[in-house]
Structure 1
């Protein structure tokens, strides 16, 4: 019963109510009709006989004329026909009422469908602009008002979170840069240091660089909303530039980079570059030695589809949505081995959402993974 829609529930309840009412009326009418038919037959006696046959036609039999010329009506099967006709009418009325109830309930539930369609349009990056219409039926007015208040609270919470992240990243950037400079200076001034000291300084530099990268990414994520998205972007030259930047990493791991297709869209050149770069870099890092990475672009009338495929070990199905969450790692040991802060795919998700698109794991198995990104070719005006 829980899987039945509200419209069908209203329809079935209406049909049941009308059906019970019609059956009760039918039984009462049948009882009343039969009773009065019997009374008429018992009361009419006399000179002639009129026979009502099963077809409903009347015939007169002169041999059955009574001496006193009184008229007698013999009802032949009329009671059975009366009952059958009532049941046919009951079934027809119930069916017609059910059909009418279905369409009437559908019209009555139209505000609820409109509410659901508006709710589906709510995204994290448009909370401030999405307001549910409160000029509706009284039953939905309180629901719409409560939902709008919830959107305001969520928007305030996300804004506070972004502001805190940006402030924290901004404050951490300066001391981290100072630490890096001091470590480099100390290493340059003491070239003949002990091996243990050199190893310790190398570890410090690596961890400081990791923190610096994390801070830079957090700062970028907190400022995404302020980035203009009105540049005309051709993806094929951008992908070739990304392959050039990733050549040292791909050559080190023996991974082959290939590209196919092209597309043109409107957006932020820097952010789309970072989106494709992060996806391709991840595909190279978590690939098998001697594997391959293929970046393909398919242009459609109103959107383009970007696919990044690798020949790695795949992503478990239970983690395929979680990989786009900040700081999530499928294999923590491998992630620390390759560096990074677990924010690369989270930034990809943010950039795709900001451009009105989406990103998902299209397929993944032991033979490799394909991550797809759908992006509109034109951007809506920036609020």
Structure 2
């Protein structure tokens, strides 16, 4: 369904529902008000007739005579124009005529009414019972309600004609309005189709003059901004694909290099009768390159396993965590020529020890790689409200802002030559990100080029303990 028809149908539906429901309620309320007013008048007249009967009964001696005379007098007094018929009955007459349950259920001074049809016209029959000298008398008032029902019918017809007129008039107006409103949008739709066909540089000319120019200017400006964003995203995707293809080529090269060495040394061992020293050197080379491939394969396997796995979190003392971390980082200072300082406030956190150690080792390893020789990598743990913050800070080269969003992607390396030279494959931060997610947290990077990088995570604090701060420096 086109936009113009959607506007027409939706607005038309609202208008018709409003007019239809509003008119129906108005007719019903008006008719009910008139009906209730006439019923109240009839009941009041009937009640008044009962009181007149009691007042006149005291002045008449004959029961039969006074009933007939009082019926005539009361009819004159109570205005015959509103009461088509007034009658007074005794209990014997009611029993003989079998008037029905309405009469029989009435008690002294009680009043009731019902609608009856007389001569094809609706009437309201109001009855009140009065007791005189222990004898019950029934005063009946019948009022013609045909005029009330006729008025209700007339209001209903007027309501139907009004709704029909509003339907036709509003339909024509809304149809024209919808077409006029959708006309400029159709031009935008055509431009969008051209962009979808690959013309990402397509833009909408912004009108400066003419009817509706302000609305079209805002809409066209927004459309052009969207088109620029689409073009920018497409270019970003192209660059992403190019980078990924470059990495695949580099990664293939990393696989090819140790495989070539392994095959070459293995062929040499198989084909030549080497001296013991040469044989050992060739075997060592095969072993080293095999271990390199093993490390790469294990990293990829860890990433796949963690991607679909879950962690069982349990309370861990930070003293034990940092002591285990110190043991894991034992050889990093000597390997990279840096110092590692560990400092942590004692607490109990909720974590999975093995995975958390792997995360912190990866962060520390990256920090050592990025740090110049002689610098210090600081690993700190501090309580922060209900959370425990662990940060790894270095004073290395830093990470450019445009690379922060991609730094945790698998296989992404900011400095490819340095990463390859240090045995990296761009998987450490991807693993760390997944481990952080398994701990219901995330890696937070604070980095500036030339100033260094701080990576931190927050873990749920189970409870705090008042002990001395853990402080250890590794050289």
| TM-score category, normalised to shorter length | 0.3 to 0.5
Decide which structure has the larger Cα Rg and report it: 2
Normalising by structure 1, report the TM-score.
Answer: 0.45
